[in-house]
Amino acid sequence: MPPAADGGFAMYPNALHIWPRGEFMLIALPNGDKTFTCTLFMPFADLDKLTKPAEVSAFFDQHFPDVTAQYGNLMPGFAEEFFTNPSSPLVSIKCDPWHHTDKLLILGDAAHATVPFYGQGMNAAFEDALYTPPVTTLPRRLLVR
């Protein structure tokens, strides 16, 4: 998304802009040059149906009219640009084992490889705490260094 006509941000820059739509969503993150990086998240089965710029335009007009030419044209040229960017899967990785003998324990973000905007860092940390023995049950040699 390019800067506004006056050279400033086209939308409020101190926010994560999200347009959720059922099984897919569009997000926009601000950049230092007053542009926004827009990313569409959707199942590959749906993404594979968008094979031509006209199909992309129709899809966005139907599902995201607030960012297309229908309501302000925040993303001019997006239908053509859509095909110049790669698509890739979002994955979660679970570590197992999450310890090395009795000397190393992986907790929190180090043990959960998810993208930050999933907003799951705190949830992962709470779950780790739930399944991690209290410090008082650890062997003394692990506590004193």
Domain ranges across the chain: 17-84, 93-143
Q: Is 76 in a helix, a strand, or coil?
A: coil
Whole-model pTM? 0.64
Residue type, 35: T
Taking the C-alpha atoms of residue 38 and residue 15, their distance in angstroms, rounded to an integer, is 13
Q: What is the pLDDT of residue 114?
A: 66
pLDDT band of 130, cuts 50, 70, 90:
confident
**Distances from the Cα of 120 to the Cαs of 19, 112, 117, 124, in angstroms?**
19, 9, 8, 6
Pick the most confident of 30-34, 64-68, 92-96, 112-116. Answer: 30-34
Q: What are phi and psi of 78, to 5 degrees?
A: -65, -35
- Measure the CA angle with vertex 68, ends 38 and 58; round to 5°: 100
Q: What is the pLDDT of residue 3?
A: 87
pLDDT band of 134, cuts 50, 70, 90:
low
Please tell me which residue, 20 or 97, carries the higher pLDDT value.
20
Q: What is the pLDDT of residue 138?
A: 62
Q: What is the pLDDT of residue 30?
A: 92
Q: What is the pLDDT of residue 59?
A: 92
Across the range 96-106, mean pLDDT stands at 72
Percent of the chain past pLDDT 70, that is, above it, reads 76
Q: What is the pLDDT of residue 125?
A: 76
Query: How many CA atoms, within 13 angstroms, populate the side-chain half-sphere of residue 41?
Result: 18
